[in-house]
């Protein structure tokens, strides 16, 4: 059943109201099997993945080969593969895993659904086909009427852990919400009404309220995150946010500012926060300010890194969504745009001073240098934070800023790898670490007793993250010296439901083709038509 076919569903039961706070439910004995035609089916009473190498997800190396038994949505058994053993696993469905690898599904804790011009089918298919089985959608209102359908596998969708602002799902007035004495009452009601992730972006100007909200949500059983507002780093920078108790810091904001020899960055006299062209230029420049001074650079990569680890904050970098700032022409010309980038995304991010994240006009080579410098120093901070025992989680923050949702999932892994982390650590950030962050301890690993969110991959992602792309990677057969492409993720298994990723991408292509029917030249494409 497609999303547009269930638009009439009215969510009214309390179980759905509370659905996002409840932990993922174990269903080892499925009462029914869903059938999405050639796109997917499941869960099965007994699903067997036979003779596959296993990347466990917690940072350990590959092991195996194993036979894996999935009953319903639960990984019930892993046993060493022995082709001569008489009691080989049997199942309602068997996936032959010869020369294949399995790893846990990834958890993309932060992405955007934008508006209704961008179909949810398109977003969800792209996420699943590129290995993401759980998402944190920022536009929570777009998914409120499908939360129950997702949990019951009535639609093709990753797991949904929506992002909410402070006070969401309550009827409290602003004055009440902004009184720290009321924080516990607000937090309890939010969590009771199904909230899991709470973003504190709009409280950055008020450290007292920020800290009260962060502590109250944690006490009530949820988690908090913050996109530190560049306009308010004089009040809450990254170090402040960690000390005040936020669970997770997203993006790159507030770190360099924490290391400066003063409490504000060197804003130009013509700085206007609402002018994104200036805002994003200066967002990189502050890293140069911190990095070129040996004193502040040392402070950033040592004292600040140590303090962030000490306070227990999680770092969610979101590097893919900003990469276009390093080379905008490269971003415009990525090979998948024509076939897989929805026209609504393309049009949303054409240069426009009145549109969010469409600021790459008057974007100079010096601006791109600033962002290259910033990525290098930011990567050094991620490395030092991880080395000291800090938890790095995973999120892409697309769609889109020229990072097409789905493909950005793999690019995020590659860009975090640039920090110097080991490939297994990077994969752990997207699986085990993110599951721990979102308070789902039975997601993010291939282990007996865990939920069956599994990727079946042609090649080891620990060897090459590009094996996760739907179009795979180009390899050479050493015997014949002929080139071939790997096949990407053959199956994404979410909650025991097995998806046929090649067919999901066929549907994505169809949706995109339809979206481009009346598209004409624009400022980006016109010279090349």
Q: 34-103+448-500 has which fold? A: Urease, subunit C; domain 1 (2.30.40)
Task: Note the pLDDT of residue 14.
Answer: 37
Higher pLDDT, 30 or 491: 491
pLDDT band at 20 (very low <50, low <70, confident <90, very high): very low
Cis, peptide link before residue 399, omega less than 30° from 0? yes
pLDDT digits (tens, 9 = 90+) for 110-133: 999 988 899 999 999 999 999 999
Token pair listed for 320: 């893919």
Contacts of 294 (CB under 8 A, 6+ apart): none
Q: Whose structure tokens read 């504000």?
A: 264
Identify the CA nearest to 109 among candidates 437, 520, 482: 437
Identify the CA nearest to 93 among candidates 428, 432, 377, 452: 452
Residue 4 has pLDDT above 80, yes or no: no
pLDDT digits (tens, 9 = 90+) for 363-418: 999 999 999 999 999 999 999 999 999 999 999 998 778 999 999 999 999 999 99
Task: Note the pLDDT of residue 9.
Answer: 38
Task: Note the pLDDT of residue 22.
Answer: 61
Question: Is residue 427 within 8 Å of 62, Cβ to Cβ?
Answer: no
The H or E element containing residue 152 is: none
Q: Whose structure tokens read 């298919």?
A: 125
Q: 3-class SS at 179? A: coil
Average pLDDT, integer, range 458-475:
98
Q: How far is CA 479 from the centre of its chain?
A: 39
pLDDT band at 143 (very low <50, low <70, confident <90, very high): very high
pLDDT band at 2 (very low <50, low <70, confident <90, very high): low
pLDDT digits (tens, 9 = 90+) for 477-500: 999 999 999 999 999 999 999 999
Phi, psi at 179, each rounded to 5°: -100, 115
What pTM was computed for the model? 0.94
d(CA 435, CA 423): 18
Average pLDDT value for the chain: 94
Token pair listed for 274: 């609402």
Task: Note the pLDDT of residue 492.
Answer: 99
């Amino acid at each position: 059943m497609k999303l547009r076919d269930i638009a009439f569903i009215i969510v009214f039961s309390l179980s759905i109201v509370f659905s996002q706070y409840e932990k993922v439910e174990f269903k080892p004995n499925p009462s029914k099997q869903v059938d999405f035609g050639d796109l997917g089916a499941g869960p099965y009473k007994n699903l067997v993945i036979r003779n596959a190498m296993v990347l466990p997800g917690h940072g350990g190396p590959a092991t195996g080969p194993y036979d894996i038994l999935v009953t319903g949505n639960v990984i019930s058994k892993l046993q060493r593969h022995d082709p001569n053993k008489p009691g080989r696993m049997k199942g309602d469905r068997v996936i032959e895993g010869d020369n294949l690898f399995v790893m846990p599904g990834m958890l993309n804790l932060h992405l955007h659904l934008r508006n209704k011009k961008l179909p949810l089918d398109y977003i969800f298919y792209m996420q699943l086909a590129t290995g993401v089985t759980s998402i944190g959608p920022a536009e929570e209102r777009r998914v409120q009427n499908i939360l129950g359908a997702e949990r019951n596998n009535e639609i093709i969708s990753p797991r949904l852990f929506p992002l909410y602002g402070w006070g969401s799902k309550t009827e409290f007035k602003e004055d009440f919400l902004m009184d720290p004495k009321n924080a516990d009452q607000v937090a309890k009601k939010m969590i009771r009404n199904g909230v899991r992730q709470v973003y504190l972006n709009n409280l950055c100007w008020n450290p007292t309220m920020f800290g009260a909200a962060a502590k109250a949500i944690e006490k009530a059983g949820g988690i908090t995150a913050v996109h530190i507002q560049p306009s308010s780093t004089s009040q809450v920078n990254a170090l402040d946010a960690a000390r005040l108790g936020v669970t997770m810091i997203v993006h790159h904001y507030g770190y360099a500012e924490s290391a400066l020899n003063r409490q504000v960055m060197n804003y130009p006299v013509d700085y206007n926060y609402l002018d994104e062209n200036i805002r994003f230029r200066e967002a990189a420049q502050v890293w140069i300010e911190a990095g070129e001074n040996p004193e502040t650079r040392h402070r950033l990569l040592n004292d600040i890194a140590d303090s962030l680890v000490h306070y227990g904050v999680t770092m969610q970098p979101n590097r893919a969504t900003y990469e276009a700032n390093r080379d905008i022409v490269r971003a415009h010309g990525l090979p998948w745009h024509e076939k897989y980038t929805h026209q609504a995304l393309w049009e949303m991010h054409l240069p426009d001073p009145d549109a969010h994240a469409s600021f790459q006009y008057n974007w100079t080579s010096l601006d791109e240098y600033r962002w290259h410098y910033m990525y290098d120093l930011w990567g050094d901070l991620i490395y030092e934070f991880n080395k000291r025992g800090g938890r790095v989680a995973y999120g892409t923050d697309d769609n889109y800023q020229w990072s097409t949702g789905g493909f950005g999932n793999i690019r995020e892994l590659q860009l975090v790898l640039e920090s110097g982390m080991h490939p297994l650590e990077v994969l752990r950030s997207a699986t085990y670490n993110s599951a721990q962050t979102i308070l789902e301890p039975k997601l993010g690993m291939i282990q007996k007793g865990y939920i069956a969110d599994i990727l079946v991959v042609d090649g080891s992602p620990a060897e090459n993250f590009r094996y996760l792309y739907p179009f795979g990677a180009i390899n050479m057969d050493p015997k014949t010296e002929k080139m071939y492409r790997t096949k990407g993720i053959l199956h994404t298994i979410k909650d025991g439901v097995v998806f046929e990723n090649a067919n999901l991408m066929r549907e994505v292509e169809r949706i995109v083709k339809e979206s481009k029917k009346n598209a004409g030249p624009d400022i980006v494409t016109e010279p090349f038509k």
